[in-house]
Amino acid sequence: MDKKVKLNSNNSVGIVKTKFFNFAEKPDELILSNGIKLGPITIAYETYGELNSKKSNAILVFHALSGDSHAAGYNSPDDTKPGWWDIMIGPGKPFDTKKFFVICANVIGGCKGSTGPASINPETGKPFGLAFPVVSIKDMLIPQKKLLEHLGIKKLFCIGGGSMGGMQALQWLVTYPGTTQGAMLIATSPTHTAQAIAFNSVGRFAIISDPNWNNGNYYGMEIPKIGLSIARMIGHITYLSEESMHKKFGRESIKVANSPLANFIREFEVESYLQHQGESFIKRFDANSYLYISKAIDDFDITDGYNNLSEAFQNIKAKCLVISFTSDWLYPKEQSMQIVKALKINGIETTYTNFEAEYGHDSFLIEDERLKKLFAGFLSSLGTASGE
Amino acid sequence: MKKLGIIKDWVKEESKILVLGSGEGEILKILGGEKKTHGFGIDIDEEKVFQAISQGLSVIQGDINKDLSDYPKKSFDYVIAHDIIQIMNNPDKTLKKCLEIGNKVIVSFPNFAYIKIRLYIMLSGRMPKTKLLPYEWYNTPNIHLFTIKDFKELCAKEKIKIISERFSGFGKKEIPGFLIPNIFAEFAYFLIE
């Protein structure tokens, strides 16, 4: 897209700057679920729109496995792509930045500015690597809660996210009841299924089998490119649907131009697409972060510490929107329906639809006018974020 | 004809209601607007649920045949089953579930003993088609058609208390109770508990 066109477009938040929040300095380190101390911690975050005087119009969105704090707009005029939820965040969009103050933070364990395995370990002066403590979805929320306190926000207007973002939203409802009016739980699950764990574990095997991985000590050296790109390729397959892949690629193939056997060797378009996905991923993501975050997803179980799902939800106060996608086979509708059932049992105001979408698990990231209307309708039902 | 006015008369201001087969949210919107109800809906159709949620209504896409038992007991002031009980797999079970989760239940249905229907069967010898029942026998969603007399018998058998009953027929007119509703009412409304 033309630079000027994209930046002047009236429904983009335009150029945004990633901000950083530091906390958990010694001796006030963060104590993780497993008892290990971590600190100091840096959290990368972005905000869009203006916080009103009563601080009642804040929406916290959570990113998924490969996401980051850059949810909307562009960090520089040279960026080719906007933030990961730019379709939803901006003036006139469902998370309307003329009305709401939208916040997105990179999770700990990540690699986009928040403290993670690639950060410098203060004990050694070298990158953590595998010395970085294992973090859970619940642990990822603590820095985000601290960030809200830092911004002076006591109660959120809404929280929301898809996939791992939905897990964070669900965990937020359970861990911090009464701190948000609404919650959007999209393409998510109360716990990871064996099938979903299996796919993640193949991705992790690919990374740790790459000789360059070197037990996680590859910083400043050759990175485990092949392992990480295979992990991304497997992940990407699980995020799409059979139907969308068929429509996009079918059985089309292209000649492999650089080969002397060009007339014989053809590559399916879906193959080169996946290779491209893998290759672009290794430029922006850290292999160790992939291990830590995918493990946190696999370990997630919202019923931890409770006897069952409805007991876990007993203190939830927020109005909830639950969405599954018809073509999502990684997080099928039955998992969303378990959430809905437990919310209903607790008498929590709940809205649910198994949304018609053809793009599989990733459907929440794809431009869709109906989905936008659904988001906007739900947000309107939470009332107005009054208090200018 | 189907009259929402009767339902409006029965529902008290600011009550908590559950509408079965809420569709695009017509009843929820009317009662929310005029009676300030706190409304919830359930419907199986994705497009209709989408329309309802897009208007800010609290609707769950689900199957009334299966999903009613998830609601806590007596969690609604009124459960409204408007023109839907005859399409359920087991209308008696659905009714009982409604009475469990609601303090009061409003049931409305087309009366299959309506005079026009009686005459239609008698004279043509075929399954009746009317404005309210426009389907062919092979594609009708109304798999459990019944009459006012049938309904009252079921209520007696299940010890369901009928608080109020009202009827309509011959266009949009309300039919007074003394006019033998089981013959002259096209559509019946019951408030039960």
Q: Does A356 touch chain B (CB under 8 A)?
A: yes
Contact assessment for residue A336 and residue A352, using Cβ atoms and an 8 Å cutoff: yes
d(Cα A273, Cα A76) in Å, to the nearest integer? 26
> Pick from A319, A340, A374: which is nearest to B54 by CB?
A374
By Cβ distance, the residue of A346, A380, A381 closest to B58 is: A381
Residues in chain A with pLDDT values less than 50: 1, 387-388
Q: Do A345 and B72 touch (CB under 8 A)?
A: yes
Under the banding of pLDDT at 50, 70 and 90, the label for residue B100 is: very high
Q: Which of A252, A239, A333, A16 is nearest to B49 (CA)?
A: A333
Collect all residues with Cβ–Cβ distance below 8 Å to A197 and sequence separation of at least 6.
A298
DSSP SS3 for A343: helix
Q: Chains A, B: CB contacts under 8 A, how many?
A: 62
Q: Does B109 touch chain A (CB under 8 A)?
A: no
CATH number, domain of B26, equals 3.40.50.150
pLDDT given at position B163: 98
Tell me if A25 sits within 8 A of A84, measured CB to CB. no
A1 by Cβ neighbours in 10 Å (0-12 / 13-18 / 19+) ranks as: exposed
Query: Is residue B157 exposed (0-12), middle (13-18) or buried (19+ Cβ within 10 Å)?
Result: exposed
Judged by a CB distance cut-off of 8 A, whether residue B71 touches chain A is yes
The CB density around residue A291, as the number of other CB atoms within 10 Å, is 25
CA pair distance B37, B19, nearest whole angstrom: 11
Structural domains in chain A, sorted by start: 3-191+301-381 (3.40.50.1820), 199-294 (1.10.1740.110)
Smallest Cβ–Cβ distance between B58 and the set A349, A355, A374 belongs to A349
| Average of per-residue pLDDT across B52-62 | 97
Reference B112, options B84, B88, B91, B142; nearest CA is B142
CA count, 13 A, side-chain hemisphere, B171: 1
- Closest chain A residue to the Cα of B70, Cα to Cα: A345
Cβ atoms of A199 and A98 closer than 8 Å: no
CA distance linking residue A159 with residue B185, whole number of Å = 51
Residue in A closest to B73 by C-alpha: A345
Q: Chain A closest CA to B185's CA: distance in Å?
A: 36
Contacts of B40 in chain A (CB under 8 A): 349
Q: Is the Cβ pair A351, B59 closer than 8 Å? A: yes
Amino acid at A328: D
Range of the domain at B160: 4-192
The answer for A 193-212 residues in CB contact with B (under 8 A) is none
Q: Distance between CA A167 and CA A173 in Å, rounded?
A: 10
Separation of alpha carbons B72 and A79, rounded Å: 51
Q: How many domains does chain B have?
A: 1
pTM: 0.94
Instruction: Confirm or reject contact between A373 and chain B (CB < 8 A).
Output: yes
What's the rounded mean pLDDT across residues B55-65?
97
Closest of A106, A83, A113, A108 to residue A95, by C-alpha: A83
* pLDDT value at B1 more than 70: no
| Per-residue 3-state assignment (H helix, E strand, C coil) for B112-180 | CCCHHHHHHHHHHCCCCCCCCCCCCCCCCCCCCCECHHHHHHHHHHCCCCEEEEEEEECCCEEECHHHC
| A332-to-A190, A241, A323, A338, A354 alpha-carbon distances in Å | 12, 12, 11, 11, 9
* Contact across the interface for B60 and A344, Cβ inside 8 Å: yes
List, for residues B8-42, the tens digit of each pLDDT value: 999 999 999 999 999 999 999 999 999 999 999 99
Is A370 in Cβ contact with B60 (below 8 Å)? no
Is A351–B55 a contact, with Cβ atoms under 8 angstroms apart?
A: no
Q: According to the model, what pLDDT value does residue A104 have?
A: 98
Task: Centre a 10 Å sphere on the Cβ of residue A155 and count the other Cβ atoms it contains.
Answer: 13
Q: Which residues of A are catalytic?
A: 163, 328, 361
Contacting residues of A for B71, CB less than 8 Å apart: 344-345, 347
